[in-house]
Structure 1
Amino acid sequence: MKRKVTPETDDRRVVIYARKSKITHKGDSIANQEEYCKDYARLHLNLSEDYEFEVYEDEGKSGFYSDRPDFQRMIHDVERRKIKAIVCYKLDRISRKMSDLTNMIDFLNKYDCALLISSNNLNTKDNNSKMMIQMLGMIAEFERDIITERIQDNLEELAKDGRWMGGIPPTGFTTERSKTGRGKSKNAFTYLVPIPEERALVEHVFEVFLETRSYNQTAQRLNEEGYRTKMNADFTTLAVKDLISNPVYCIADEYSYNYFLDENCNMYGDKEEYDGFHGISVYNRTTQTKEESDDSTFLNPEFSRYTIRKEKDEWIVAVGKHEGFILSTRWVAAQKLKDDIADKYNRPHRATNALLAGIIYCPLCGKKLSVISESNRYTHGKPRFKYACPNAVRKGACTYQAVRGVELDEYVVSELAKLKEEDNQYVKLIKAEAKKFKASDKNEQDILTLKKDIEKLEQDIMLQVKNLRDVSDALRPYVQADMDNMAKEIADKKKKLQKLDAIEKQRSDQYSDLSKTLEIAMNFERMTKDEDPEVIVSIIRSIVERIIVTQEGKDSNVHLFLKGQPGENYDDFFADSDTLIDAESRSDELCDSEGCRKLYPHFCRSAIKS
């Protein structure tokens, strides 16, 4: 007599996954998704009315990325064999990325876990549902791309009402929600409301900044006066700069309208709407992006986040609902001062017109050399000065001897003027480098081939979908497997295409930069002739990476490191920070011009006799 086998009880849980995206601010709420899923699961999985579902939910997370906290927690619970079925309201709540969706279905099959989609009545345990899930996954990814394209339109809609987009409100404001209309036409939006105490702080920051004309001095005074940031921290130069740069404080009037218009911003609304009371709202000022690392997997995703500040010609400027704090004339003055500070490093030393300040370094300790003026003394009709190491001047911790400034400036300018000569090695090098980065026919062909392959595979999948209608049950698994393989192949090719596009963009940018450098190299003398020192400084900095002057007895050797040269390495010029090497012994190692030419891909000339 055969022994009766009793099937083991599957005590794994049925769970619900719900997600709401922060991108569109639309879609069914988390609570509604949960209720739909519970009703569906009770009906189709024969669960009791009092069955307790565990709920995983990610609110404010994009479905395109798999690094959602509760999603990853759920996936790892599947791996630990705690879950036998996942119920979701719509497929795009689980994922909007086709490759992740395909990997997830394979993963769930491996652990005998079903995925149920309530709104489409789909179950991955059923072969017909698998085919539909593949199709819906492709549609979800396509919809995600469409959503991205619609963001600009959504921003313009936000601009109509001057509403706050969300996030931590800036210093000086809190947020409130306002509701308008009734029934289906009911609408709610968030707007900024002033906080009187913080408003006074913002006004004081602008006052101090315009007075001191310095981020650092502004931060120091605010801290000395006992002020704290909105996050209850000390003020830093970055905190001051961020506050000064924010257009939200600027009063919207004709003056500010003309300023943003001159800055090529996208202006929303007529000039008459800039009423002199409300503040400015700027949309599309920054964007956040995520980049998946090469080691990232569906089960262990790795992403890097970036916040990119957009150019002003991409901004959308409108009148906000909030009250402005700072007169437009003062806010614009602060922006111009901010620009002046940014340009400071492209300006020569005021007293001496030193051209190389900021790009010349001490070979012993690596510090930037300071400009030391020699009052009422002149060389070649120019104010005399020296480039000196600050560690030597102030602390006596460095033995580097100061370099004559006027002579060095003139020598560097004369050497850069020689770059146009036909046999110049640097120009040949830049041309060779530019040629490397010029778009190749092979790269373009690879991109075109990948796009055609993806299009062909997508057409083949559509064809197989039609075949499934008539295919026999015996052949159905093979057709489904073929579709799965094609979906994976599409995902792989899209990843390769994305990398090729990134390489092509980088190649194009590098080629453009090298072309500009080459143009300056070939026309340096013409571009700097009879120009003001400010212009010459800017041109020099566009082509010179840094300058190091090493010393050998009474001779100085000038090492010009020019932009665009591969393999530039400054390490061998600098002593260890713990051990400062005597200048004379250091020069014995490094200052032989021929040896330097062999070691470093730059030109090096002995010059400037003391």
Structure 2
Amino acid sequence: MPEKFAAIYARQSLDKKDSLSIEGQIELCKVEVQGEFRVFEDRGFSGKNTRRPAFVQLLNEIEAGNVTRLVCYRLDRISRSILDFGAIWETLSRNDVEFVSVNEKFDTSTPVGRAMLYIIMVFAQLERETIAERVKDNYYQRVRKGAFPGGPAPYGMRIADKRSNGVCTLEPTEEIKVVKRIFELYAVDGMSLGKVAKRLSEEGIPAAKRATWDTISVYRVLRNPVYVKANADIYFYYKSKGLIVYNQPEEFTGEYAGLIVGKRLSNERKYTNMSEHLFSIASHPGIVDSDLFLICQYRLDDNKQIKNTGSGKYSWLSGLLHCSECGYSLKVMNDHYSGRLKLYCSGRTNFHACDLKHTEKVEDIEAYVEQDIMRYMKDTLENGVKQENINAEQNALKASLYQIEDKINNLVKAMAEGVEDTYQLQQVVRRTIGRWVNNNYRRRPMILPIVVAT
């Protein structure tokens, strides 16, 4: 085992008349050394970083446990960066190495010397946090301008070569067709996340960075606002989720997509808890209609994915059927004896709240609903131009409504700050909020439940 020694470190970037030479530094440091020592010197190297040959060799000796004490003429001989010195001190402390600075007159073997190091460590931590805050502020500022914040582009998108209004933006790839299909399979066809993933994998469509799809990858596509045409409905949805919406309601025109950024725990799904996240309108056009996007969001919020039980086959109406007697949902189950799909009332089987036994054929209900949907789609296509104008007018009215809501909230806050006895004000606010929720926030389902009667 090699014998341990004290280390003297000396550095001089340029030979100047008013700068102490390396030889002079070493002579002053020898006073603080007893017994065996080795000298590590870097000539012509700056202290702005730690990538210096002799210093790297010194750190290797420290990590190997061969150094008992490190002596230098001045702190800036080690590093001019408090942040770098903080990291170096952690290395010294971890390996039980004492540190002595001749010029600053402190020695970590004494209480005063250790106190001085702790003060330096506080400033090092402050520098770390300041740098992190600057990076974070710059990151959020890019997002507020509609720029893609960085990292890999979402599935179906790529980072555009040309910038939009001077900011980094996205553009669709051929895979955007798969993105549209995922939304349609989940919202229109009523598939579960697992079934959507299975369908795509069976068709040989690769996911991002892997050959097959799973529920998580499908979930992330459905939750990402980078695809949606952000209109006033999107503003309302994310505002109600507690997000900080940077743009004003009138900016949600339905032309551009959205971006969400925010801190999340390592064990959380990306979009599980979005409160305190920031939503901003992106600089690239949206791809998915807001109605289709919101159908998926409400369904994901309710977590009503259909579970597989055995090898049963489920109807595309699963989750939409309700009993006319008790109002509970009807389950579409496979009868293993007859091989037919049957309806089971959850109010009867789970809660014993219904006596009605359903004998309707699932195939007949599907045919009836399919005809109704086709008729509705035909009428919608025939009135497409008229409906487009109506939608634009409705979107403008919704944007105006949300602006009024924000003004009311700001007014209530201002009133609360100027009132000493807040009890009466609280009662008024509660009644106002109650009326507001009843009149404006009670959302109708995007697809109305079908009531089955015998």
Taking structure 2 as the reference length, what is the TM-score of the superposition? 0.49
